[in-house]
Structure 1
């Protein structure tokens, strides 16, 4: 009996340590969500500013507004997929790949962010053309997007790809995520209605070059937002998984504590019986 009780007490100690680790992981994920959410707001404000500039530049080049309206099917479609970098995020990666299934089952070039996604891509026979690690904190988003943009521009310049779509998770509600699919290229100028006062702005660059640079900057902002939202969603998924794990730990701990009490009571009962019979334990 004593050996069994000692074993149960040892398990109680291990489960409590596991609970502490799970609590710490949940706390880290929560802090990351709060930090990255603030960066999302800043990125969106920047994108809105660039969008206003694009709307004004289109006054100088009205023909560009219809350039992205006629989208034809492309045999070289780049799919940017944002997966998780770390584990303990439930079915996060599977959800992202499932949402992108129609794109991945058609001719495509896969640009994959997130090392956990590389594992899923291998299992599903979708080898990435390019891959990189998902960010661990918001400060890494800029360098990641720069590397991604460089890889895309190389293929765009050689006309190896003409269409670009990004698939990533976003946080919704309280503790939930959903997967969104957004077209990046061909660029949709229709999103930028002309300004109320259509006064030609003063510019120091040719109108076409100015618009091209603004579009590039806007696409970078879009990719930054996608990375940051995916990072938030990954940590929301991790928080949800850790909450579930904490519930399981609590249930296991309660059961072990109950078992320990029962074993201790049985041990005490045995000692009393032995003492009453005149056969005390050595």
Structure 2
């Protein structure tokens, strides 16, 4: 076997190893996305319970909602942007960064960025000096990350500037081309909660205003947790699609290398036959 054939065989073996790695990455990403979708039900159940409690408090003290209504047209804004932690997600981080930074952001005072690759994408667009945190590596780490983001958010809401608007930007899973959404967390929309009139008010151990404030903070934290889990699922679904495209490219490369190997092997066999035939004719002439 010639050195060229040996080189092609080595490249074929390396490509097979690459195909195995791509398949493993696709399997891991698919499993993590499935796990994230499974955990969304629990987050939404907690949010539903908190929303029902908010409705009960509003039935007891309807003035609490109007007392907390904020004017979102004035004052600084806090933007939470959630992206990917790792690579192999196509242009997902660029799309999220463009969506978050593309609109008018003159009133933005604080940026809270989640995902190392997203931080890099935003820095390339001139956004620096922000609070950031790495994205959770597993769905089980999302609640802890949501608590960190909530603490950073409320720390900025409590500062001297008193931000009046909070938004969260993230990707949604489950679509062939992922959609980037931006949701408003504050001003808090009390109208979405069902208020059931009661003949007797609920028994509470704290002042209704204080109870309502605590429930609103809990609900916003749960909304952040849901956004983080959705973004985690979207990141891994994007990675699955990227690995499927990579697998197609690897298989095309394998087919090309195999065809090249067969052609080169056939050329060597033909050359050997020609050499044997020439040698035989020379021997016969020498014997005459």
Q: Tell whether the structures are fold-level matches, with TM greater than 0.5.
A: yes
Q: Secondary structure at the match of 2:279?
A: coil
Aligned-partner Cα distance in 2 for 1:67–1:172: 39
Task: Classify 1:61/1:162 alpha carbon distance in 2 versus 1 (closer, same or farther; 3 Å).
Answer: same
Per-residue Cα deviation, 1:212-235 (whole angstroms, up to 9, x for no partner): 111111111101001100000000
User: Residue 172 of structure 1 aligns to a residue in which SS?
Assistant: coil
**1:7-22 maps to which residues of 2 (within 5 A)?**
7-22=7-22
- Shift, 1:159, TM fit: 4.1
Q: CA deviation at 1:74?
A: 3.4
CA distance in 2, matches of 1:247, 1:81: 32
Per-residue deviation at 1:106? 2.7
- 1:195 aligned partner: 196
Q: Give the 5 Å matches for 1:130-169.
A: 130-160=131-161, 161-169=163-171
2:286 maps to what in 1?
Answer: none
Q: What are the residue-to-residue correspondences of 1:48-67 with 2, within 5 Å?
A: 48-67=48-67
For residue 184 of structure 1, what is the aligned residue in structure 2?
A: 185
Partner residue, 1:126: 127
Taking a change above 3 Å as real, the CA distance of residues 133 and 87 of structure 1, as seen in their structure-2 partners, is: same
In the alignment, the residues of structure 2 paired with residue 67 and residue 274 of structure 1 have an alpha-carbon distance, to the nearest angstrom, of 98
Q: What is aligned with 2:43?
A: 43
Are the equivalent residues in 2 in contact too, given 1:66–1:190 (CA < 8 A)?
A: no
Shift of 1:142: 1.9
- Provide the TM-score with structure 1 as the length reference: 0.93
Residue 279 (structure 1) shift: 7.0
Displacement of 1:170 in angstroms is: 1.1
How far the C-alpha of 1:125 sits from its partner, in A, is 0.4
Q: Which residue of 2 aligns with 1:172?
A: 174
222-231 or 65-74, which deviates more = 65-74
Task: Give, in angstroms, the shift of residue 197 of structure 1.
Answer: 5.1
Tell me the CA shift for residue 186 of structure 1.
Answer: 1.5
Give the total of aligned pairs.
279
Q: What's 2:100 paired with?
A: 100
Please, what TM-score do these two structures have when normalized by structure 2? 0.91
Distance 1:72 1:11, change over 3 A: same
Q: How much does 1:198 deviate?
A: 6.4
Q: Which residue number corresponds to residue 236 of structure 1?
A: 237
Q: Secondary structure at the match of 1:252?
A: helix
CA displacement at 1:100 relative to structure 2:
1.4
Larger Rg over CA atoms? 2
Listed as ranges, the gaps of 5+ residues in structure 1 are none
In structure 2, distance between residues paired with 1:128 and 1:166: 18
